[in-house]
Amino acid sequence: MNDMTETDVAIVGAGLNGAALALALAREGFSVRLFDAAPIEIRADEVFDGRATAIAAGSRAMLRKLGVWARVAETVEPISDILVSDGRVSEGASPLFLHFDHREVGDEPFGTLVENRFLRRALYDAVAESDAIEHVAPVRVERVDYGTGWANVHLDDGTAHRARLVVACDGRRSRIARDAGVRYTGWDYNQTGIVCTVEHERPHEGVAHEYFLPSGPFAILPLKDNRSSLVWTERPDLAKAAMGLDDAAFGAEVARRFGTFLGEVTVTGPRWSYPVSLSLAHDYVCPRLALVGDAAHGVHPIAGQGLNLGFKDSAALAQTLGEAARRGEDIGDLNVLRRYERWRRFDNTAMALGMDALNRLFSNDIAPLRLARDIGIAAVGRIGPLRRMFMRQAAGMTPGLPRVMQENAR
Ligand SMILES: Cc1cc2nc3c(=O)[nH]c(=O)nc-3n(C[C@H](O)[C@H](O)[C@H](O)COP(=O)(O)OP(=O)(O)OC[C@H]3O[C@@H](n4cnc5c(N)ncnc54)[C@H](O)[C@@H]3O)c2cc1C
């Protein structure tokens, strides 16, 4: 059956970005169809996504206004301090480290750790309660035809749906975007991110740690209770071997990197692995198509910014389209969509290249580079304004935030 009843926006991909965008668009008064190839029960399952996300202040304000934050608030852990250090496996962190204390830039924590399993479920529950959003899954979008004033989304069940605008939220190197002629720049980091959760004897006191080990960063992110989420970035062959270890051997490898500062450490639950790459779309928009989230920019997870950037895209696109509709403009028109692109592309590209540079500088064991970065770490630690600039970035306190991300705006 072809459903040619027109919705305002068709979103391809109901990951964290697609779901958040659907809610942001509904808040602006648009009707939305949200398509995903995977069943909702599988995506909302506890073991689907083992990551935890450091949600910046603006993202938190947006999730609150979208009716999502209250659903996860009981499960979150604020980050009060960040310790950054250089190290080698089994040697512990180098004595030269950076200490970011949130009190230097305000009362708010740097970010709040939310486990993706809770965030996903909360987003899908909020979507299910919205009369403006139809979450259609499991269906794969096979192709999109673009016409004057409309786009037809063709699904693998043989149906087609009409919308005024299509948004690609289908992840890195989006098929939907490439089919529309969008090109990408990017590279593989030759790294894999292993993710797991650990329990430790002593409380973490809300402190996040980033150790720069030669094979890549090892991040310890505080979770509620005496637990932390780990992102252990490793060479793909070694990551594959680590993923194949039995629980005891895997736990021993984690403990070698983690150290003993929080007492005994035990891995709990499953482990996940994610390939790490950079992909930047040359264009964020074409007539009747916009790209959001990883479909527009896949960045290194070194500073935990990928999803926060995607949420900014969603907020900026929803605001741009809302303003255009109120002026009587066509939301699929390229001139309207270019406003969104101009708003978001520079910020995303600057952040992606910044993460790339950090990873290159730190993920090696070359002696002169090691010395230079330790001197750099010590310098940043001593220079107050520079240290505070890094902290504001980490907390997402940047100018030009869309209204829905500003705590005191509507
Ligand atoms: C190890 C690691 C740690 C991270 N930590 C952080 C962090 O602390 N903070 C942070 O801000 N970010 C973090 N990120 C980044 C963040 O997780 C991603 O940016 C985010 O999950 C991307 O979401 P997305 O919705 O854009 O894409 P995806 O999650 O890739 O979702 C794409 C969706 O599209 C669907 N799809 C694809 N093609 C089709 C089709 N043809 N038809 C229908 N459906 C389709 C898929 O089924 C999928 O559900 C981390 C990333 C990694 C790898």
Question: Block means of pLDDT (10 residues each) for the chain, length 410 residues?
Answer: 78 98 98 98 95 95 98 96 78 62 67 96 98 98 97 96 98 98 95 97 95 88 96 96 97 93 94 96 98 97 92 98 98 98 95 84 68 65 60 66 91
The reported pLDDT for the residue numbered 213 is 85
Domains held by the chain: number? 1
The residues facing 155 across adjacent strands are: 141
Q: Which atom of ligand 1 is nearest to the CA of 298?
A: 19
Tell me whether residue 302 is in a domain.
yes
Cβ neighbours of 138 (radius 10 Å): 15
Q: Which amino acid is at 188?
A: D
Tell me whether residue 385 is in a domain.
yes
CB 257 within 8 A of CB 272: no
Distance in angstroms (rounded) separating the CA atoms of residues 67 and 71: 8
The reported pLDDT for the residue numbered 274 is 96
301 within ligand 1 shell (Cβ under 6 A): yes
16 within ligand 1 shell (Cβ under 6 A): yes
14 within ligand 1 shell (Cβ under 6 A): yes
The reported pLDDT for the residue numbered 128 is 98
What's the CA-to-centroid distance between 156 and ligand 1, angstroms? 22
Which mutation among 11, 170, 314, 405 tests ligand 1's pocket best, with the greatest number of atoms within 8 A of CB?
170
> What tokens were used for 332?
């699929």
What's the CA-to-centroid distance between 387 and ligand 1, angstroms? 30
Of residues 177, 14, 70, 171, the one with CA closest to residue 22 = 14
The reported pLDDT for the residue numbered 104 is 61
What's the CA-to-centroid distance between 309 and ligand 1, angstroms? 12
3-state secondary structure of 393: helix
Which protein residue's CA is at the shortest distance from atom 52 of ligand 1? 301
Tell me whether residue 355 is in a domain.
yes
3-state secondary structure of 120: helix
Tell me whether residue 410 is in a domain.
no
Tell me the CA distances in angstroms from 396 to 119, 129, 155, one per residue in order.
19, 29, 37
307 within ligand 1 shell (Cβ under 6 A): yes
Read off the DSSP letter of residue 143.
E
CB 326 within 8 A of CB 175: no
195 within ligand 1 shell (Cβ under 6 A): yes
Distance in angstroms (rounded) separating the CA atoms of residues 155 and 139: 6
CATH number at residue 142: 3.50.50.60
Is the pTM value of this prediction over 0.85?
Answer: yes
12 within ligand 1 shell (Cβ under 6 A): yes
What's the CA-to-centroid distance between 347 and ligand 1, angstroms? 19
Range(s) of the domain holding residue 103? 3-405
Which protein residue's CA is at the shortest distance from atom 37 of ligand 1? 170
> What tokens were used for 6?
């027109």
Question: Angle 60-63-69 (CA atoms, 0-180°, nearest 5)?
Answer: 85
The residues facing 192 across adjacent strands are: 234, 275
The residues facing 230 across adjacent strands are: 196, 220
Query: 16-27 and 116-129 helices cross at what angle (nearest 10)?
Result: 40
The reported pLDDT for the residue numbered 363 is 72
38 within ligand 1 shell (Cβ under 6 A): yes
What's the CA-to-centroid distance between 367 and ligand 1, angstroms? 36
Tell me whether residue 48 is in a domain.
yes
Tell me whether residue 154 is in a domain.
yes
The reported pLDDT for the residue numbered 212 is 85
Tell me whether residue 358 is in a domain.
yes
CB 42 within 8 A of CB 48: yes
The reported pLDDT for the residue numbered 364 is 66
